[in-house]
């Protein structure tokens, strides 16, 4: 029986590759590029691979619309879209990148589902299910390859100096090659099947998510009542709470159509009217803070998200509209304008809004440059290997800083990289500090010790600029790399 299932899986994979030749070719390209980081400078390739999901889903979109001749040409030429992303350099975590990923996924669902609410929700569910199962299986493949490699290295005392490269190759096979192929396999499988939900989904909807959402709605309405009575302004983080509430409410409303017995129709049928007061609360807080402090990039995108959710609430007041489709197209249009059109991007709006506020802020804002150095010795017992780091590549074990990011190399192989800001934020959180807290000297040593899964990185110092709004990391100097 198991052999028959494996045979059917293999036959299904071959058929899927035959039906999706460009997607399969892209998987091979992604894998080759990922593996090439073993021998060449990884930074431009890594930035390219970050956009691999965008190129891959674009190919899937063109394929879904291949009945049009121009789309068929775009489909076969889509691997060339990798070229513009080569050498692109930007922060690892950025709003434009996040909203690019969000846009491409919305476009994929729009291209592969119908216009009505049922078809759109079903198409979204099939995409999430295909991507989720493909990712979980790819993660299992990577863990399996890692365990086999590590066990073989440990038992036979081989590959000791090449483990970082072998782990990189295992990641390439699992996430760059297997993940796209598994996605197109499950995409084809679920694309041909009618929507079906199991008992676990019904229990989750009826006994966990829907009751939790109702409780959350009550909390927000109690807070609205408090604001009306005390006549105070909403707290700053309430906007994010409201966007999460409204987003989940309409998502679960769409999922109700898959249930045979709808126990919460009495709640979801009034979704628009329930969300409008909470959105008014959100708009009040957002408008006040923009008026007081101006636009920042996060606030611009927050306004865009709240605008989309407000439109969705209004769309659902008109029964005959294709609510989710209209909302998705509105989101794609608005996010694209704020991300890609020069002069009116979120960054441009931030610069325009803050221009007149820069000088007054300088007069009142306190700035202090702090050098964080170890205040006590560090216990390094229990580690098997220690590599001293310097800034000279010819030594083999070295570090580099590039665009406020840190890169560590052991024996000329990249073993770690991250943004200064991400490293420092994580270290503050581990030390029990918030970004606005003052840092006591007794915490310095703890902040300079970065513990990873099987590795510890010790830093010589951090140079950070403290302002009223938090910390701006200017430089990090790693000292040694310890392997357990």
What pLDDT digit, counting tens, does each position of 247-292 carry?
999 999 998 888 888 889 999 999 999 999 999 999 999 998 888 8
Distance CA 443, CA 374 (A): 9
> Is residue 380's pLDDT more than 90?
no
Q: Where is 419: in which H helix or E strand? A: strand 413-419
Interval 283-307 mean pLDDT = 90
Interval 295-300 mean pLDDT = 90
Question: Of residues 112 and 366, which shows the higher confidence score?
Answer: 112
What pLDDT digit, counting tens, does each position of 90-148 carry?
655 678 889 999 999 999 999 999 888 989 999 999 999 999 999 999 999 999 999 99
Do 183 and 174 contact (CB within 8 A), yes or no?
Answer: no
> Is residue 366's pLDDT more than 60?
no
Residue whose C-alpha is closest to residue 435's, from 465, 405, 478: 465
Percent residues over pLDDT 90 in the chain: 44
**113 by DSSP, 3-state: which?**
coil
∠ CA(320), CA(247), CA(106), 5° rounding? 75
> Is residue 393's pLDDT more than 80?
no
Distance CA 165, CA 168 (A): 5
Residue whose C-alpha is closest to residue 105's, from 180, 175, 54: 54
Q: What is the pLDDT of residue 293?
A: 81
> Is residue 361's pLDDT more than 60?
no
**455 by DSSP, 3-state: which?**
strand
Q: What is the pLDDT of residue 381?
A: 81
Do 138 and 128 contact (CB within 8 A), yes or no?
Answer: no
SS3 content of the chain, % helix, strand, coil (to 5): 65, 10, 20
Q: If you average pLDDT over each of 14-23, 199-208, 359-368, which comes out highest?
A: 14-23
Interval 188-214 mean pLDDT = 81
The set of long-range contacts for 92-100, using a CB threshold of 8 Å and a minimum separation of 24, is 92/50, 92/405, 92/418, 92/419, 92/422, 93/419, 93/422, 95/297, 95/298, 95/301, 95/339, 95/346, 96/339, 96/345, 96/346, 97/50, 99/301, 99/335, 99/338, 99/339, 100/51, 100/54, 100/339
Both tokens assigned to 208: 């966990």
Q: What is the pLDDT of residue 310?
A: 96
Interval 157-162 mean pLDDT = 80
Distance CA 102, CA 96 (A): 10
Residue 286 Cα to chain centre, angstroms = 24
Q: What is the pLDDT of residue 335?
A: 96
Q: What is the pLDDT of residue 360?
A: 43
What pLDDT digit, counting tens, does each position of 171-198 carry?
999 999 999 999 999 988 776 666 666 7
| Sheet strand arrangement including 413-419 | 398-401, 405-410, 413-419
Percent residues over pLDDT 70 in the chain: 92
∠ CA(69), CA(75), CA(78), 5° rounding? 140
> Is residue 1's pLDDT more than 60?
no
Q: What is the pLDDT of residue 92?
A: 57
* Beta-carbon contacts of residue 465 (< 8 Å; ≥ 6 apart): 367, 368, 369, 370, 471, 472, 473, 474
* Beta-carbon contacts of residue 297 (< 8 Å; ≥ 6 apart): 95, 346, 347, 349, 350
Distance CA 241, CA 217 (A): 11
> Is residue 359's pLDDT more than 50?
no
Q: Give the predicted TM-score (pTM) of the model.
A: 0.72
Q: If you average pLDDT over each of 35-44, 148-157, 289-298, 302-311, which comes out highest?
A: 302-311
Q: Where is 463: in which H helix or E strand? A: strand 455-467
Which segment of 267-271, 332-336, 444-448 scores lowest on mean pLDDT? Answer: 444-448
Read off the pLDDT band of 364 (50, 70, 90). Answer: very low
> Is residue 152's pLDDT more than 80?
yes
Question: Of residues 394 and 25, which shows the higher confidence score?
Answer: 25
Both tokens assigned to 264: 């919460």
Q: To the nearest whole number, what is the mean pLDDT of the chain?
A: 87
């Amino acid at each position: 029986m198991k052999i028959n299932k494996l045979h059917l899986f293999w036959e299904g994979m071959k058929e899927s590759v035959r039906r999706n030749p460009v997607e399969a070719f892209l998987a091979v390209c992604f894998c080759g590029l990922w593996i090439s980081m073993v021998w060449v400078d990884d930074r431009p390739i890594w930035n390219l691979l970050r956009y691999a999901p965008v190129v891959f889903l674009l190919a899937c979109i063109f394929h879904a619309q291949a009945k049009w001749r121009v789309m068929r040409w775009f489909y076969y030429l889509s691997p060339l879209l990798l070229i513009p992303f080569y050498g692109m350099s930007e922060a690892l975590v950025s709003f434009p990148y996040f909203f690019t990923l969000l846009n491409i996924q919305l476009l994929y669902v729009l291209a592969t589902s119908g216009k009505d609410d049922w078809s759109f929700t079903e198409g979204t569910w099939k995409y999430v299910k295909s991507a989720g199962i493909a990712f979980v299986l790819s993660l299992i493949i990577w863990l399996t390859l890692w365990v086999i490699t590590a066990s073989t290295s440990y038992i036979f005392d081989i590959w000791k100096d090449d483990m970082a490269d072998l782990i990189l190759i295992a990641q390439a096979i699992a996430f760059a090659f297997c993940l796209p192929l598994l996605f197109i396999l499950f995409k084809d499988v679920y694309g041909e099947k009618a929507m079906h939900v199991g008992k676990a989904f019904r229990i989750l909807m009826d006994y966990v998510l829907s009751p939790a959402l109702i409780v959350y709605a009550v909390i927000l309405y109690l807070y609205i009542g408090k604001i009306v009575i005390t006549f105070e302004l909403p707290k700053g983080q309430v906007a994010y709470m409201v966007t999460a509430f409204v987003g989940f409410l309409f998502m679960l409303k769409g999922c109700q159509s898959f249930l045979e017995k709808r126990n919460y129709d009495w709640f979801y049928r009034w979704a628009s009217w329930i969300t409008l007061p909470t959105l008014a609360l959100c708009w009040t807080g957002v408008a006040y803070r923009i008026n007081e402090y101006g636009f920042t990039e996060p606030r611009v995108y927050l306004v865009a998200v709240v605008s989309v959710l407000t439109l969705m609430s209004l769309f659902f007041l008109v029964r005959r509209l294709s609510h989710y489709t209209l909302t998705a197209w509105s989101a794609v249009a608005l996010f694209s304008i704020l991300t890609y059109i020069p002069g009116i991007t979120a960054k441009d709006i931030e610069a325009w809004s803050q221009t007149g506020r820069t000088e007054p802020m300088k007069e009142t804002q306190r700035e202090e440059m702090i050098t964080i150095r170890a205040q006590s010795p560090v216990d390094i017992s229990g580690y098997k290997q220690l590599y001293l780091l310097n800034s000279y590549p010819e030594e083999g074990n070295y570090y580099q800083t590039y665009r406020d990011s840190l890169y560590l190399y052991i024996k000329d192989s990249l073993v770690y990289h991250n943004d200064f800001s991400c490293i420092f934020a994580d270290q503050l959180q581990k030390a029990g500090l918030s970004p606005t807290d003052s840092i006591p000297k007794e915490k310095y040593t703890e902040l300079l010790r970065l513990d990873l899964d099987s590795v510890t990185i010790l830093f010589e110092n951090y140079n950070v600029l403290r302002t009223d709004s938090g910390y701006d990391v200017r430089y990090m100097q790693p000292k040694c790399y310890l392997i357990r």
